Homo-oligomer: A and B are copies of this chain.
């Protein structure tokens, strides 16, 4: 990201839980601040040692401990440092998939994914990690190892403490092991890349898709025309190698001949569905075209085309980085108001910067990016606190999936009531009350003060 720079002089790479425990116990007894770190792919400065913290990087803890596929469960138990893409590959061989998938999968680690409650591309179908994670092991600041590494789908015995660690960004402890429910790989996956004329059509299409396709809909992404322009020089538009036309309107017109970029408001988005019910999917798409919800679109003909569709969506963060400085916001908003913010932001910011919107439409999650030639306080002043106030006023969340980190820790009140923030601080105190000596705690009652980044 480049916005936060580290200044630590010590990086420790424990090989197992016991070493994590020993390190934390020692640091705690000497009042040394630490910052847990995973794949370091976070976008809110959570895993960066901005002061002089000791870095505890769990990247060497990368063993898969067990995978139960013999019977029915598909329960994967692994160490926190396992890279997401490696887990995806491992499961693929076993006939299962991870319930989460992220653009950063090549570097991010499962411990960081869990600690930041990473969302990503499949949340629509498989839900959040609060639903998929069956158990975890975490080490508290004083070295106490909490064994919550259950592998059961149901367990109603007392408070389900693992949920506090999911998304707590490392501030309550370091996640060292994870047990996660993985769905079986489905017989086939089809991906369509469609265009709607306006945002309202996108919303209607999502509702229709949810109703008509039911459980086979596993992702419903979107990108707007400014986002599409950014990546239009890449693989998709204007080439004959990709995106063979399979959807035609009732007159048999070939939709790829239309220059969709000329439409007043243009949305491209894709969804992936997995099942053997290809015919049903085609019928749904055809009906969507005939009813006018879809203006144009392509259904992937093979795995390479499917990959190229995802490549467009997943290539957006990189394209933004190349375009210059980027102010990144990760918001949850009520669906019907989501795009209003994008349009208001364009008015607010004027010609000084470009507003690029994409995200996980199916989850109500907008990635709002303001792209400028260079970081500029004048631009920032036009974005903040406007974006947070707008989000708060519309009962949205100022962090849908990226977490608070350093960037938004002080802005929590935009999304949480004073009473709940107070209780969070109390809980923080609770966990660290377990310390033999609490005299070294700061005002936030936290010696692990930063977040474990995915």
Contacts and interface: CB of A to CB of B under 8 A. Distances in A.
Interface of A: 68, 70-73, 95, 116-117, 119, 123, 125, 127-128, 130-131, 144-148, 150-161, 163-164, 166-168, 172, 183-187, 203, 206-207, 210-212, 214-216, 274-277, 280, 332-336, 360, 362-365, 395-404, 408, 412, 414-417, 419-424, 426-427, 429-431, 433-434
Nearest to A218: B215
B203 A419 contact: no
A234 B403 CA distance: 54
B153 A123 contact: yes
A95 B211 contact: yes
B150 A395 contact: yes
Nearest to A70: B336
The 4 closest A-B pairs by CB, nearest first: A215-B215, A131-B131, A163-B163, A155-B397
B426 A430 contact: yes
**Number of identical monomers bound together in the oligomeric complex:** 2
Residue from A127, A212, A408 having most chain B Cβ neighbours under 10 A = A127
A343 to B, nearest CB: 17
B274 A214 contact: yes
Nearest to A126: B127
Nearest to A181: B127
B164 A164 contact: yes
Given A130-B131, A210-B72, A155 B420 contact: no
A144 B419 contact: yes
A163 B426 contact: no
A197 B398 CA distance: 54
A159 B172 contact: yes
B128 A154 contact: yes
A277 B399 CA distance: 38
21 contacts: A71-B207, A71-B335, A71-B336, A117-B160, A119-B156, A146-B417, A153-B363, A154-B401, A156-B397, A156-B404, A157-B397, A158-B420, A163-B163, A183-B210, A186-B214, A187-B211, A214-B274, A422-B434, A423-B430, A423-B431, A426-B433
Contacts of A183: 210
A119 B147 CA distance: 24
Most buried by B among A152, A156, A161, A210: A156
A146 B214 contact: no
Contacts of A336: 70-71
A51 to B, nearest CB: 21
A360 B183 CA distance: 17
Contacts of A147: 417, 419-420
A215 B212 contact: no
A157 B399 contact: yes
A433 B415 CA distance: 24
Contacts of A274: 214-215
Nearest to A275: B214
Contacts of A414: 157
A154 B397 contact: yes
A377 to B, nearest CB: 25
A207 to B, nearest CB: 5
Contacts of A73: 334-335, 364
Nearest to A419: B146
Contacts of A424: 158-159, 161
A219 B26 CA distance: 49
B167 A164 contact: no
Nearest to A212: B187
Given A145-B419, A211-B184, A335-B72, A164 B156 contact: no
